[in-house]
Amino acid sequence: MKEIIPVESIVRKIIFLRSEKVLLDRDLAELYGVETKQLKRAVRRNIDRFPPDFMFELTKEEHDSLRYQFGTLKRGVHSKYLPMAFTEQGVAMLSSVLNSNRAIDVNIAIMRAFVQLRKMISSHADLERKITALEKKYDEQFKVVFEAIRALMSPSEKPRKKIGFQVKEPKARYGKKGKKNQ
């Protein structure tokens, strides 16, 4: 059976929000091949199937934070309503709400993506435990090696580069307050 969507492309869309792995409504709508408003309408018609641990609406602050991460939004292209975030269980519930063959195929691919992500996270934790055990076993002569391995495992904490340019001159004053009496 040919995969309808590569698992890797789904994994890239999964984000961590409120200590949960979630997919946003716009990404799910794209995967299912429907408009975001159609997906939201179907969810709202069946809201009893989506308790807070299956689906939640983002707060304004969370939405603004995501907007800054993904770039500015064009007027009229993006929804003026706050996005919905679906956990793994919420995505599974969507297959019963969006009743189509594509929805079933996409849900299978999404479930595989969540499983793959879980495996990657657990293997990272296993590696951490094994290194700690090796550190305890060997003496100081390998300390440098273990420090180098830990440095490679930890995410880099480089400061983010600023995008755009900065004006280094005083702001121009416009309007009545800026004009001198003539």
Residues of the chain with pLDDT under 70: 1-4, 68-79, 135, 137-146, 150, 152-167, 175-182
CATH class of 7-121: alpha beta
Using N-to-C axis directions, what is the helix angle for 143-153 and 101-137, rounded to 10°?
A: 160
Amino acid at 35: E
Amino acid at 11: V
pLDDT of residue 162: 66
Token readout for 113 is 């993506």
Q: Which of 64, 53, 49 is nearest to 19 (CA)?
A: 53
Q: Which helix (H) or strand (E) holds 112?
A: helix 101-137
pLDDT of residue 75: 47
pLDDT of residue 55: 92
pLDDT of residue 158: 59
Interstrand relation of 15-17 and 55-57 (parallel, antiparallel or unpaired): unpaired
Domain ranges of the chain: 7-121, 124-153
pTM value is 0.57
pLDDT of residue 169: 76
CA distance 78 to 83: 10
Q: Which of 90, 4, 104, 84 is nearest to 38 (CA)?
A: 84
Amino acid at 38: Q
CA distance 10 to 30: 11
Q: Which of 36, 26, 1, 28 is nearest to 111 (CA)?
A: 28
